[in-house]
Amino acid sequence: MDKRKLGNGLEVSKLGLGCMSISGAYGDRLDQSEADALLRRAYELGIDFFDTAEIYGPFIGEEIVGRALAPIRDRVIIATKFGFRIDPDTGRRVGFDSRPEHIVEVVEASLRRLGTDHIDLLYQHRPDPAVPIEDVAETVRGLIAAGKVRWFGLSEADPASIRKAHAVQPVAALQSEYSLWTRDIEAEVLPTIRELGIGLVPFSPLGRGFLTGAVKPGELVSSDLRTTMPRFQADAAANNARLVDALALVAREKNCTPAQLALAWVLHQGEDLVPIPGTRRIERLEENVAATQIALSADDLATIEAALPASEVLGERY
């Protein structure tokens, strides 16, 4: 698989693997043997960029990923995240926490769970309004100097925060939701990171599975995080399904699946971005990897965007 560069020297496969779903966010989590098979198949297919976080599970996601990648640790890039306060009794997220001392604590715990001596890419998972972003960046700068972290990332940050952080410690990548049905970052965020030379890591490039056409909101299990999301509910879901049906017609003409077409669209938005679609199934992983070989012309891109205009999507993301 071809490589792409994110920010200041971080080179990864042009497609990564988001590992949130393996920890049970969308239903049952994978057992270790299933995760081993999935992540190692991803590596065989050319993926060397794996994304997790302490909040996935919580905690179990990092443990699963760390064990699965242990035999090939020196050949892969692992990204993880800090930034939430997690109730130790319930495991629930109860607020933000990017205090410098907490960042250090989280990194030490993540290193243990991942079974590694360094984190390749460390993101602030969400901005913390109580902590200046300069303090966050300075803390990560110290962790980089200590050899515990290699690159610094932000997630869902606004342009002003990105600039402030980047002035203290160069930001390699911004992780934000970006797909055919979520294009908010195009107005201000994307121009900002491109001006600064920061890469983009789109999460949920398949709309949390909705853009595949295979996710039926009424069939989601109660433990599935998506049941709480407005886009997957009632009238919004019916409207959005109509848009996906239109995308499927275009995909049929291109001899690919709707998922592949939606992912190919993201991949064609620039050489400075690396999407990280997640899956728990090897056949879907292989389908996603095949999308990296789809070539789209300017006319194709226009047709795709006309079939699924983001302005017609109903429902907020969260």
The per-residue pLDDT for range 36-69, each reduced to its tens digit, is 999 999 999 999 999 999 999 999 999 999 999 9
The reply to whether 26 belongs to the active site is: no
Average pLDDT over residues 255-260: 97
* Residue in 155, 137, 158 with CA at minimum distance from that of residue 204: 155
Q: Distance (Å, rounded) from C-alpha 204 to C-alpha 199?
A: 16
> Given this model, what pLDDT does residue 98 score?
98
Q: Would you identify the CATH topology of the domain 3-208+269-293? A: TIM Barrel (3.20.20)
Give 190-224 pLDDT, tens digit per residue: 999 999 999 999 999 999 999 998 887 677 887 78
> Given this model, what pLDDT does residue 103 score?
98
Burial 104-117 (b: 16+ CB within 10 A, else e): bebbeebbebbebe
> Given this model, what pLDDT does residue 24 score?
83
CB 135 within 8 A of CB 167: no
Q: What are phi and psi of 202, to 5 degrees?
A: -70, 125
Average pLDDT over residues 100-107: 98
Is a pLDDT exceeding 80 seen at residue 255? yes
* Residue in 37, 39, 19 with CA at minimum distance from that of residue 29: 19
- Eight-class DSSP state of 30: P
Of these residues, 43, 56, 123, 178, which one is catalytic?
56
User: Alpha helix (H) ranges present in 153-271?
Assistant: 159-168, 189-196, 234-253, 258-267
Domain coordinates in residue numbering, the chain? 3-208+269-293
Q: Distance (Å, rounded) from C-alpha 97 to C-alpha 88?
A: 14
> What does pLDDT average to over the chain?
95
pLDDT above 70: percentage of residues in the chain: 100
Burial of 165 (0-12, 13-18, 19+ CB in 10 A): buried
- Rounded alpha-carbon distances, angstroms, from residue 242 to 60, 309, 314: 37, 12, 11
Peptide bond into 58 cis (omega under 30): yes
Residue 131: CB atoms within 10 Å: 19
Beta strand residue intervals within the chain, DSSP E: 3-6, 10-13, 17-18, 49-51, 77-82, 84-86, 93-96, 119-124, 149-155, 171-177, 199-203
